[in-house]
């Protein structure tokens, strides 16, 4: 019994840190859900309505915030941006500021190739390849429905993957469906 328990624990410890990838697609980049140019955030400064509002991350990767000016946002998650804002506001402007940051919209995705309506579409959390195809009104009759080409934001080129319905799409991805050959 002790041997069986030890083997079970050994097996489970081998699984620690393993992240399942839905549909065999690429794992999302570690920074895929971090802020980037084009994202829109809502900043709430508690007790200070004049320091609360919606802000766009600029092409330079900053947010222009009242009183403190441009604050680096690209590469940060919402909690880290809130911490940066609290630190800058606390350095001479407010006593013990409390800031919350919420992402309103992420940068768009692009669906190209053999779909009915290729183009730019808004990203929604939890978006899969099935959702991206639905946004583009489905495949054309020529579409190769066995593979997909994905270019993740920040990567140099696209990578080919087998097409599965639960393949995860991330903000800023470019998804391309090729033509099938009989």
pLDDT at 8: 42
Mean pLDDT of 142-164: 90
Residue 100 token pair: 């919350």
- By mean pLDDT, which of 20-24, 133-137, 168-172 is the weakest? 20-24
Confidence grade of residue 28 (pLDDT, cut at 50, 70, 90): low
Average pLDDT in the 150-162 region? Answer: 89
pLDDT > 70 fraction of the chain, expressed in percent and rounded: 82
| Angle 173-178-182 from CA coordinates, rounded to 5° | 160
Predicted pLDDT at 50 = 92
Closest-CA residue to 104 (of 153, 39, 52, 148): 39
Q: Give the pLDDT confidence score for residue 31 in this predicted structure.
A: 53
Mean pLDDT check: name the lowest of 25-29, 89-93, 123-127, 143-147: 25-29
What pLDDT does 34 receive? Answer: 87
In the beta sheet, which residues pair with residue 101?
43
What does pTM read for this prediction? 0.72
Higher pLDDT, 28 or 164: 164
Please provide the average confidence, as pLDDT, over all residues in the chain.
84
**Which is higher by pLDDT, 27 or 158?**
158
More confident position, 57 or 23: 57
């Amino acid at each position: 019994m002790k041997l069986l328990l030890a083997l079970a624990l050994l097996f489970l410890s081998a699984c620690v840190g393993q992240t399942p990838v839905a549909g065999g697609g690429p794992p999302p980049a570690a920074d895929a859900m971090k802020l980037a140019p084009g994202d829109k955030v809502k900043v709430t400064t508690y007790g200070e309505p004049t320091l609360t509002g919606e802000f766009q991350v600029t092409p330079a990767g900053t947010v222009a915030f009242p009183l403190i000016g441009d604050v680096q946002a690209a590469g940060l998650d919402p909690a880290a941006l809130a911490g940066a804002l609290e630190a800058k506001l606390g350095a001479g402007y407010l006593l013990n500021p409390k800031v919350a940051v919420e992402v309103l919209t992420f940068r768009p995705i692009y669906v190209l190739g053999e779909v009915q309506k290729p183009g730019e579409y808004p990203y929604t959390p939890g978006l899969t390849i099935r959702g991206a195809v639905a946004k583009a009104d489905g495949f054309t009759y020529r579409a190769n429905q066995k593979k997909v080409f994905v270019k993740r934001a920040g990567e140099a080129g696209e990578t080919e993957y087998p097409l599965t319905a639960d393949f995860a799409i991330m903000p800023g991805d470019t998804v391309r469906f090729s033509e099938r050959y009989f």
